[in-house]
Structure 1
Amino acid sequence: MTQSLAIRPMTRPEAVGHIALTIAEGWNPGLHDTEAFLACDPDAFIAAELDGKVIGGGAITAYGDSFGFMGLFIMHPELRRQGLGSQLWRARRDRLLARLNPGATIGMDGVFAMADWYARGGFVLSHRNLRFCMDVPADRVCEPFAEIVPATDIPFEALAAYDRSCFPAPRDAFLKAWITLPDRKAVALVRDGQLAGYGVVRRCREGCKIGPLFADDADGAEVLFAALAPFAAGGSLFMDVPEPHTDAMAMVVRHGMSEVFGCARMYLGAIPDIAHERVYGVTTFELG
């Protein structure tokens, strides 16, 4: 008989510890992802408690009341395959639905092996997001690009509006943290006085990771990539790419990047109406 879990909000220290568990899972978080995740939605983290001990948890991030994202779903290894994770996952889904307006969409990035199971919980496959990796030579330097400026030089309202075209809901608190935290480089592409894209690269437990990479077109994405990649000089560079985006896939192939991981992007509810053609690199698998 499956034991009954106590499902409750995590304390802030518990949330910090839970995010640290992603290192053991090989998820390779950014050095300061915790700060951005908690700035985005401090009430997102849910704990599963058994006999007074936290044995797992996950995030149910609400972006206002119109869109949510499920991520960071982890159970302690010795308690997996006992039905406990299923209890937690369903409880998280239902709690997130209760935080949103009726009919709101929830997204998630799940490992391929679990996609059928998530489908039984109401989620429908949209596409695959694939992680690519390359080694950046230690002597690679960033060439000057007249079109590239620090993202913080752009009026935040303009940057947030561009981000909103590529993401299903406003995420101002997250974005402010994401472009200003340490150990990262955030740049914007400006053409004829208009914002035409932006990207962020951050240091992770292993190497560096680009995310997001949003651009009006392939040429702009290439310039942003060239401005961000040298940040990883002497180490590995990762980027998560939507598989249906042919220009994005062509770009990682052109740079000799190898596929190393992937997730199924799934939605409960309508697939968001965003500028998918601008999304060359996903922001995070954990928060969307």
Structure 2
Amino acid sequence: MGDFRVSVATAQELRRLRDWADDEGWNPGVSDGQAFFPTDPQGFLVGRLNGEAVASVSAMRYGADFGFIGFYIARPAVRGQGYGIQVWQAGMARLEGRNVGLDGVVEQQDNYRKSGFRLAWNNIRYEGVPSAGGQDDGVTLVDARTVPFDQLAAYDRRFFPAARDAFLASWLSLPGHAALVALRDNEIQGLGVLRPASGPSRVGPLYAASDSIALSLLTALSATTPGLSIAIDVPDINKPSAALVEQLGLTPSFETARMYTGPTPDLDLAGLFAVTTLELG
């Protein structure tokens, strides 16, 4: 098998992982690594065969008891040789004792079950150029950068199992990211982010107190890239979300399974119209 070792990735190697994800057709965001790396710099693991990186996984620690697995990739030339599973085991060992989540390709569900994961819902990626949307006259849309961060972090916690302030602060402020908040009487009623990607611009997260607010946010975000395609990962457990994007003319293109090793976290699923990222949750 040669000399195979698993260790923490460098910041430079994280850029390579993004390219690997691109090769897999996952359409990663152009600047994802700039938000990913500070979230948990020791959480990106690379398997090196005779010194060359050939496999990867991310094992993000959030708070004291939650973790998320992503970037599980073995390069095509080494698949079926046991290198991927070694990296996987190293990632899971890093998250031992935590409730671990992942968004995995549906055909791998049985393998994930063998590792103790249980299905919570599926995320359906919809893509296309949105048709004319609408505006909820009861809310005002503002740049997220103008809203006190403590309010944004508290709002995000309704939809994510743990605090992730470092990630969120970067995600909302990276160049090229459009981040909008829906306000009513100075209270947050929704949040949406659009970011440039290798292919269609990615929307995530999209949180909203109602369908009409979600539509307002999605309409405004897509207007920042007029006439261009977007991609949005919609949890099928939120039926109105799928109906909303289909109303805009988007069509399904990809599907992943959201799974957890422990109980499904108590989240505001009715307000979760799109997950943030399939790699980090």
- Does residue 119 (structure 1) correspond to residue 113 (structure 2)? The answer is yes
Find the counterpart in structure 2 of residue 15 from structure 1: 14
1:203 Cα deviation after fit? 0.9
Find the counterpart in structure 2 of residue 34 from structure 1: 33
CA distance in 2, matches of 1:36, 1:45: 13
> Aligned partner of 1:96: which letter?
L
Structure-1-length-normalised TM-score? 0.92
The answer as to whether partners of 2:3 and 2:50 remain within 8 angstroms in 1 is no
Over 3 Å counting, the alpha-carbon distance change for 1:92 and 1:155 in structure 2 is same
CA distance in 2, matches of 1:243, 1:274: 14
> Aligned partner of 2:172: which letter?
I
The answer as to whether partners of 1:3 and 1:84 remain within 8 angstroms in 2 is no
SS at match of 2:157: helix
The answer as to whether partners of 2:126 and 2:234 remain within 8 angstroms in 1 is yes
- Does residue 233 (structure 1) correspond to residue 251 (structure 2)? The answer is no
Structure 2 residue runs without a partner (length 5+): none
SS at match of 2:189: strand
Find the counterpart in structure 2 of residue 279 from structure 1: 272
**Where in structure 2 are the equivalents of 1:14-163 lying within 5 Å?**
14-97=13-96, 102=97, 104-136=98-130, 147-163=140-156
> Aligned partner of 2:124: which letter?
L
CA distance in 1, matches of 2:215, 2:280: 25
CA distance in 2, matches of 1:221, 1:167: 18
> Aligned partner of 1:125: which letter?
L
CA distance in 2, matches of 1:181, 1:260: 27
In the alignment, which of 237, 261, 269 is matched to residue 268 of structure 1? Answer: 261
1:226 Cα deviation after fit? 1.4
The answer as to whether partners of 1:112 and 1:262 remain within 8 angstroms in 2 is yes
The answer as to whether partners of 1:168 and 1:273 remain within 8 angstroms in 2 is yes
The answer as to whether partners of 1:201 and 1:228 remain within 8 angstroms in 2 is yes
1:19 Cα deviation after fit? 2.1
CA distance in 1, matches of 2:116, 2:275: 23
The answer as to whether partners of 1:136 and 1:233 remain within 8 angstroms in 2 is no
Find the counterpart in structure 1 of residue 180 from structure 2: 187
CA distance in 2, matches of 1:144, 1:122: 43
> Aligned partner of 1:257: which letter?
L
Find the counterpart in structure 1 of residue 200 from structure 2: 207
- Segment drifting more, 255-264 vs 228-237: 228-237
Over 3 Å counting, the alpha-carbon distance change for 1:200 and 1:274 in structure 2 is same
CA distance in 2, matches of 1:202, 1:6: 34
> Aligned partner of 2:84: which letter?
G
CA distance in 1, matches of 2:230, 2:181: 19
How many corresponding residue pairs?
280
CA distance in 1, matches of 2:102, 2:136: 37
1:121-180 deviation per Cα after TM superposition (whole angstroms, max 9, x unaligned):
11111110000011247xx89989761011111110001000011100001011111011
The answer as to whether partners of 1:166 and 1:275 remain within 8 angstroms in 2 is yes
> Aligned partner of 2:240: which letter?
D
1:239-281 deviation per Cα after TM superposition (whole angstroms, max 9, x unaligned):
0000011110110111111000010001011211111111001
CA distance in 2, matches of 1:109, 1:60: 12
SS at match of 1:232: coil
1:26 Cα deviation after fit? 1.2
Percent identical among aligned pairs is 36
1:51 Cα deviation after fit? 2.1
1:228 Cα deviation after fit? 0.9
> Aligned partner of 1:258: which letter?
T
CA distance in 1, matches of 2:136, 2:256: 35
- Does residue 256 (structure 1) correspond to residue 255 (structure 2)? The answer is no
SS at match of 1:200: strand
- Segment drifting more, 115-124 vs 47-56: 47-56
Aligned residues: CA RMSD: 1.9
